[in-house]
Amino acid sequence: MEVVNMASKTRIQKILDLAGQFVIEQKGAWGHAEWEELVGKAAALGVEASDENKRSLGNIIEACKELYSEAEDVAPAKKPAAKSRAKTKS
């Protein structure tokens, strides 16, 4: 397999690398804050944060998540639970 220098990679290769690395680092589970951070990193690579591009990026990471779970022979991790606010007594 040929190793490609990061500087010589095309934008799509960089985006795919970003998506794959994201799924690996998140161990196949992420919340909204992590998603927003990924969108920001993709924007830094020149990906416009349009709804269509976000949907496409979401589809890429979901496909990576399936492959990650299968390749690692692990069940997909559960998404982080939403933090609940403590109830105050009145």
Q: What's the pLDDT tens digit per position in 63-87?
A: 999 999 888 665 555 555 655 555 5
- Give the tens place of pLDDT for each residue, 41-66: 999 999 999 999 999 999 999 999 99
How many domains is the chain built from?
Answer: 1
Is 86 among the domain residues?
no
Whether 35 is in a domain gets the answer yes
**In a domain? residue 64:** yes
77 located within any domain? no
For 73: left if phi > 0, alpha if psi spans -120 to 50, otherwise beta; the answer is: left
In a domain, 88, yes or no: no
- 78 is a domain residue: no
Domain that holds residue 67: 10-72
Using CA atoms, how far apart are residues 21 and 42, in angstroms rounded to an integer?
12
Instruction: Look at residue 85 and tell me if it is in a domain.
Output: no
**pTM (predicted TM-score):** 0.70
